[in-house]
Copies of this chain bind each other. A is one copy, B any other.
Amino acid sequence: MAKFLHPSLDDICLTEILSALSDPVRIRILKTMLDAQGCCSCTQAAPCPKIAKSTLSNHFRILREAGLIKTTKVGVENRSVVREQEINQKFPGLLKTILKFAD
B94 touches A18 (CB 8 A): no
On whether the beta carbons of B97 and A101 are closer than 8 Å, the reply is no
Q: Assess whether A49 is interfacial by the CB under 8 Å rule.
A: no
The prevalent SS among residues of A at the interface is: helix
CA distance A27 to B22 in the complex (A): 14
A42 within 8 Å of B (CB atoms)? no
Does A4 sit at the interface, judged by CB under 8 A?
no
| Residues 1-40 of A at the B interface (beta carbon under 8 Å) | 14-15, 18-19, 21-24, 27
* A19 partner residues in chain B, CB cutoff 8 A: 22-23
Cβ B14 vs Cβ A23 within 8 A: no
Contacts of A102 in B (CB 8 A): 14
Question: 19 A-B Cβ contacts within 8 A?
Answer: A14-B27, A14-B98, A14-B101, A14-B102, A15-B22, A15-B24, A15-B27, A18-B18, A18-B21, A18-B22, A18-B27, A19-B22, A19-B23, A22-B22, A91-B101, A93-B93, A93-B97, A97-B97, A98-B98
